[in-house]
Amino acid sequence: MNYFIIGYYAMLIGASCVAAYFKNRQAFLLIFTLTLVSFVMGLIGGESVLWSVTVAAGLIAASAGIAYSFREFLIIILPKQGAKTMRTAPLTASFGLFVVIIYVIAAVFAPVIAPFGQAEVVGTSFAPPDDKMLLGADQLGRDMFSRIIYGARNTMGLSLMTTAIAYLMGCVLGMLAAVRGGWLDQFLGRLVDVIMSIPSLIFALLLLSIFGTQLYILVLVIAFIYTPYVFRLSRAVAGNIVVMDYIEAARLRGEGTWHLITREVLPNAMAPLVAEFGLRFCFVFLLVAGLSFLGLGIQPPTADWGSMVRENATLISFGEITPLIPAAAIALLTVSINFIVDWMLYLSAGLKD
Amino acid sequence: MKDVFGIVAKRLGLGLVTLLIVSIIIFGAVEMLPGDLAQAVLGQSATPETVEAMRKELGLDRPAPVRYLDWLKGAVTGDFGTSLANKRPVAEQIGPRFANTLFLAAYAAVIAVPLSIGLGIMAALYRNSVFDRVANVATLTSISSPEFFVGYILVLFLAVLNPLFPSISSLSEDMTLAQKLERTFLPALTLVLVVTAHMMRMTRAAIINLLASPYIEMARLKGVPNWRVITHHALPNAWAPVINVVALNLAYLITGVVLVEVVFVYPGIGQLLVDSVTARDFPVVQASCLIFASTFIILNLLADVGAILTNPRLRHPK
Amino acid sequence: MAREKSVLLEIKDLHIEGRVDEKWIEIVHGVDLTLHRGEVLGLIGESGAGKSTIGLAAMGFARDGCRISGGSIEFDGMELTSTPESDLRVLRGSRIAYVAQSAAASFNPSHKIIDQYTEAPVQYRIRKRMESQEDAIELYRRLRLPNPDEIGFRYPHQVSGGQLQRAMTAMAMSCRPDLIIFDEPTTALDVTTQIEVLAAIRDIVDQFNTAAIYITHDLAVVAQMADTIKVLLKGDEVEQADTRTMLDSPQEEYTKSLWAVRSFRSAQKTPADPSETPVVSMKNVDAAYGDIKVLEDISFDIHSGRTVAVVGESGSGKSTAARCITGLLPPTSGTIEFKGEVLPASYKDRTKDQLRQAQMIYQMADTALNPKKRISEIIGRPAAFYGNLKGADLKKRVDELLDLIELEPRQFYERFPAELSGGQKQRIGIARALAADPTFIICDEVTSALDQLVAEGILRLLDNLQQELNLAYMFITHDLATVRAIADEVVVMKDGRIIEKGPKDEMFTPPHDPYTDLLLSSVPEMDPDWLTTLLEERGVDNVGEAARDHQS
């Protein structure tokens, strides 16, 4: 028994008592369950488990704090309408916004922020962190921190471009199918079903093995694989719109297909499509990261989070967390986008009624 | 009942056609190689004579449709040709590895399916409670993390910092089942974590959807006790959505397995596929892709057939 | 009707809140209600009046996202607001039962109808399973369901809507409750089916002397069913009185407005000159969706300045006829002539001018107007498209049109449809049709989604416009009150065929084809004795179905 363990349990039990006193049933249940769970885990795993729990709780509390203050910050600086929306935002969403903004800044100003170039060898291989290199060096002696900053630019930029291409093709085809109907709709629908019946990672591996792994091929292949998913989405969204009477009215007026798509269907399809863009970006991003991790995505020496995990994986067996940093960077971004999308979907669903 | 068989037969037929088209895509993709297979394998520096000899050896002098039919005939009978890298029959390499992958996937599924359905139903029943909210954030985090991130975290905590399980899951023939289970615990756990998150969210959504039906409200207004509303009124209608969720996620397992196998150096078909892609060993790539795609299609097919068979409207036609 | 006069249900100052965006908003603001044993109370109001919410509260039940926030509900001496959920549950089904609007959705698709009937009696140990089944068959017979011995052993989707609704009424009776809540039980049904269900409900409530709360938005229906009527508006009570008093002398302005609608009649025009070329003429038109034939040998003419009402129940083909005229569904045979010349079958092959002359107004103004466009764009587009108007000319035209539909141009010019009321949206729909400067307009159930008073305003407007612009109307409706109000000629349709056609006055005086008779006589009237008289006329055992058998 040491002071840490005594303090740990005293804190938890104290907090649950406070929650119970203020009749906050949910908070009490949460804290007390945590107490019981750490009791069991502590018996099995010893003190280190309790430390991990403490660190995790601290991280969550810190994130909640950041999220809270960032939301307040946005409420103050945004114009009226935006501030009003932000006030209803859950903490998860404002945390997501915060992370995404940080990432975007890192990506845009990468050369300014990063102390070294992404391919520049500045130290010995696997050099530990020092004043010069914040996170140490990788297997070739390049600065990890600089590479992570550049990685934001490369991985995100590539995924964004790919998603945009897939969206453009998928939406145009999907809306065309919905508005035109008939054999075109049938044909595209069947085609998409077939393409989607090959798992996307497998399909990507097959195509990349054939066409090589140049950057533009990577973009085109992944965009091609994701187009059917966007097609299905936009076809479904537009499908709900084209049955509306105002579309029928426009058809009977004699309006052309292009007018129907751009003026009548698209304005009504924007909200769900934009929300879904975030999700699709996540999927593309994860696929790119996965491919890079397998050594078939973005090629060295270009910095990229997926391949950085793979290159430094051996460090894990020495108990180092360095290779987990780029992996965590990937997870953090996708989690954040999911948080925002969750909120946006909730907002657009709430607007309906 | 005749109607149901008709619909099932139709769905099976559609699945078969899909499978056929997918096989054409997989075969045709390799035909789209710049130059041709021999040129691609030997590289730019090869002399025309060696390329020509290779072409003969691979039978590339015959027209593509003929080669496709040969390949398909072979694939159906379990003969996928010879590997370019080591000249051994492809089936011989894939066979044991496919078995390993199925073992891993089954291991994960056996834990994940009951766990996530149970948790998903709980989250739906106690909607908006602390449990539901915590589960929402946790599952969202898990879904958003790449499989290799989850895998390496588990390695760090359960293999390196606390050496409870091996971090590398090599298998050998003479291992007992218990040893195998221990060896493959970490990759299986990784898959469980990722798949459970997906499956739990989908189960929750399906059950919430179901509980909003007017007939559930009617049952409550008839004074039916809560447990009976669930077992008698909700459950008989829940099969179709739940089967759908399970099949979709098992299909998802198939893709997830590739990355996890690489993380844990597990001798499965995913690892083989990645190695063959890097080595540009096309016969192996084609065969593995076909196997992955078929499994995926068959699972989706089973989900649809399950949904048809449990639909009361179709089971008792007018 | 001698009734026991002890109080069964007493609701005092009931407040109910609904959850909107994490906030609780009150939706029922202090309603009182007293119900005696064996009495039937009609709750009437528009959608959003809180009728269903109050009905459910009488069972101590609040839907997800709703809560009873104040007041008392006393059922037979028991205070429901303070009773624990487990005891409330025992009341439900046994002493208070519920009949939902959509029987098709409210029966569990996985169980046989009779098993759902026996569930409550068996659970409460009132009857054994076999006894309860016999009881069910007895009730099915009494409710005049076809094949009463066998129908219960079918699954819900194997039985028609009207029959399911009666089976659900039987199910509510299974424990012989003291009180039944009927929540719009006939709203989803056609008029001829509605009669059967109404008769069944009234019959069974009378026989078992059960008290009932009958919730509906249809005045004529509630007049048949209720002893007392309570009128609700936006969660508040407007007034309450016994049925005859309420019908004869409503006190409140709102109630009077509900009654008012049936007073409008357009002036009867002289019959059109038969030698004059009709604006639109359908000649022997057949049409099909895929292999399913939906129209057979449809012929009728519409003359300029005249209104032809096409009447029928759902599935009669009346909207399909309109789709043939507009060219959305090309006929399989026959022709459609416009001012004597044959129109191309598909709208895609018609000229811009042909498209311009025939316009359409839709039932649901919500889906008929693009929610992302401003009113000026919605009305302006046809004017710009057909008339090539631009800039100031276009704005002038839009202003003119807004004047025509009696809306202040400056107020509406920049607005979006979502900012308008239902009646205003419908007026915008009319303006869009007028913007094309048409000679012929199809009105597809244009008033059926509107409140009665607003609907009357729309009918008056359409009538004025017809006289001013000499328009020809094709008026599709299932509501005979609307037909009486506006039609010059009537076409009665059933199962894709024309049963009868002729001038309005002729159509409303017998004798007729049996189906027309059935249809006309099935439309509930405000007279509280209407149903009783009608059933006597038809012979009590002949509720609709016999007449239908005769028909086929």
Torsion angle defined by CA atoms of residues C159, C163, C168 and C169, in that order, rounded to the nearest 10 degrees? -170
pLDDT at A122: 77
Q: Are strands C280-289 and C333-338 parallel, antiparallel or unpaired?
A: antiparallel
Which residue shows structure tokens 């948790």?
B119
Contact C56, C236 (CB under 8 A): no
Q: What mean pLDDT is reported for chain C? A: 84
pLDDT, one tens digit per residue, over C168-177 is 888 888 888 8
CB contact under 8 A, A197 and B296: yes
Q: Give the mean model confidence (pLDDT) for residues B184-209.
A: 89
pLDDT, one tens digit per residue, over C267-281 is 767 766 777 888 889
CA distance C461 to C476: 17
C170's tokens: 């039987």
Cβ neighbours for C544, distance < 8 A, ≥ 6 positions apart: C192, C193, C195, C196, C518, C522, C538
Q: What is the pTM of this model?
A: 0.84
CA distance C515 to C495: 11
Contact C111, B315 (CB under 8 A): no
Q: What mean pLDDT is reported for chain A? A: 86
CB contact under 8 A, B160 and A316: yes
Angle at C83 between CA C82 and CA C86, to 5 degrees: 145
Burial class (CB in 10 A: 0-12, 13-18, 19+), A9: middle
* Assigned CATH for A144-348: 1.10.3720.10
Q: Are strands C179-183 and C96-99 parallel, antiparallel or unpaired?
A: parallel
Please tell me which residue of chain C has the smallest CA distance to B236.
Answer: C110
Lowest mean pLDDT among B63-67, B82-86, B306-310: B82-86
CATH 1.10.3720.10 range(s) for chain A read: 144-348
Residue B214 C-alpha, separation from nearest chain C C-alpha, in angstroms = 5
Q: Which chains touch A (3 or more CB pairs under 8 A)?
A: B, C
Q: Give the mean model confidence (pLDDT) for residues C433-439.
A: 92
Residue B197 C-alpha, separation from nearest chain A C-alpha, in angstroms = 13
Residue C372 C-alpha, separation from nearest chain A C-alpha, in angstroms = 6
B192-218 as b/e: b if 16+ CB within 10 A? bbbbbbbbbbbbbebbeebbebbbbbb
Q: Which structural domains are found in chain C, ordered by start?
A: 7-108+178-259 (3.40.50.300), 280-521 (3.40.50.300)
Task: Count Cβ atoms below 10 Å from residue A221 Cβ, excluding itself.
Answer: 22
Question: Which positions in chain C touch B221 (Cβ < 8 Å)?
Answer: 56, 59, 61, 92-93, 97-98
Question: What residues of C are in the A interface, CB distance below 8 Å?
Answer: 21-22, 326-328, 347, 350, 352, 355, 359-360, 362, 364, 367-373, 381-382, 385-386, 432, 436
Higher pLDDT among residues B39 and C296, named by residue: C296
Q: Is B152 on the interface with A (CB under 8 A)?
A: yes
- Is the ipTM of this structure higher than 0.90? no
Q: Tell me how far apart the 2 most distant CA atoms of chain A are, in Å.
A: 83
Whether residue A228 has pLDDT greater than 90: yes
Question: What residues of B are in the C interface, CB distance below 8 Å?
Answer: 212-215, 217-225, 228, 232-233, 236-237, 312-313, 316, 318
Task: Count Cβ atoms below 10 Å from residue C118 Cβ, excluding itself.
Answer: 22
- C540 — pLDDT class (breaks 50, 70, 90): low
Nearest Cα residue to B147 out of A289, A170, C333, C206: A289
Residue C204 falls in which region: left (phi positive, over 0), alpha (psi -120 to 50) or beta: alpha
Q: Which of A249, A251, A264 sits opposite C368 (nearest CB)?
A: A249
Q: Which CATH number fits domain B98-315: 1.10.238.10, 3.40.50.300, 1.10.1530.10, 1.10.3720.10?
A: 1.10.3720.10
C469's tokens: 């612009």
Which residue shows structure tokens 């609307």?
C482
Residue B196 falls in which region: left (phi positive, over 0), alpha (psi -120 to 50) or beta: alpha
Contact C526, C219 (CB under 8 A): yes
Higher pLDDT among residues C356 and A320, named by residue: C356
Nearest Cα residue to A209 out of B281, B109, C451: B281
pLDDT, one tens digit per residue, over C179-222 is 899 988 887 777 888 888 888 888 888 888 888 899 888 888 88
Question: Which positions in chain B touch A324 (Cβ < 8 Å)?
Answer: 149, 152-153, 156
Instruction: Identify the residue among B221, B224, B237, B239 best suited for mutation to test binding to C, counting C beta carbons within 10 A and taking the highest.
Output: B221
Cβ neighbours for C552, distance < 8 A, ≥ 6 positions apart: none
Q: Give the mean model confidence (pLDDT) for residues C281-292.
A: 87
Please tell me which residue of chain B has the smallest CA distance to A25.
Answer: B130
Interface A-C, measured as beta-carbon pairs within 8 A, has a size of 49
Half-sphere exposure of C117 (CA within 13 A, CB side): 33
- What's chain B's length in residues? 318
Question: Which positions in chain C touch B217 (Cβ < 8 Å)?
Answer: 63, 100, 106
DSSP C439: S
Q: Give the mean model confidence (pLDDT) for residues C23-28.
A: 82
pLDDT at A118: 80
What DSSP string runs through A113-181? H-SS-TT-B-S-TTPPP-SS-TT-B-TTSBBHHHHHHHHHHHHHHHHHHHHHHHHHHHHHHHHHHHHH-
pLDDT at A188: 93
pLDDT, one tens digit per residue, over B235-265 is 888 888 888 888 888 888 877 889 999 988 8
pLDDT at B300: 87
- C22 — pLDDT class (breaks 50, 70, 90): low
Residue-range domain boundaries for chain B: 98-315
- C12 — pLDDT class (breaks 50, 70, 90): confident
CA distance A32 to C511: 80
pLDDT, one tens digit per residue, over C91-102 is 888 888 998 888
Task: Count Cβ atoms below 10 Å from residue A100 Cβ, excluding itself.
Answer: 18
Question: Which positions in chain C touch A260 (Cβ < 8 Å)?
Answer: none
Q: Give the mean model confidence (pLDDT) for residues B74-100.
A: 84
Q: Which chains touch B (3 or more CB pairs under 8 A)?
A: A, C
- A323 — pLDDT class (breaks 50, 70, 90): confident
CA distance C368 to A109: 49
- C260 — pLDDT class (breaks 50, 70, 90): low
Q: Tell me how far apart the 2 most distant CA atoms of chain B are, in Å.
A: 86
Which residue shows structure tokens 């993380």?
B263
CA distance B78 to B251: 22
CB contact under 8 A, B221 and C90: no
Q: What mean pLDDT is reported for chain B? A: 85
Phi, psi torsion values for A93, nearest 5 degrees:
-65, -40
CA distance B20 to B5: 22
> How far, CA to CA in Å, does A142 sit from each of A112, A186, A324, C386?
17, 53, 17, 68
Cβ neighbours for A155, distance < 8 A, ≥ 6 positions apart: A285, A288, A289, A292, A298, A304, A305, A306, A330
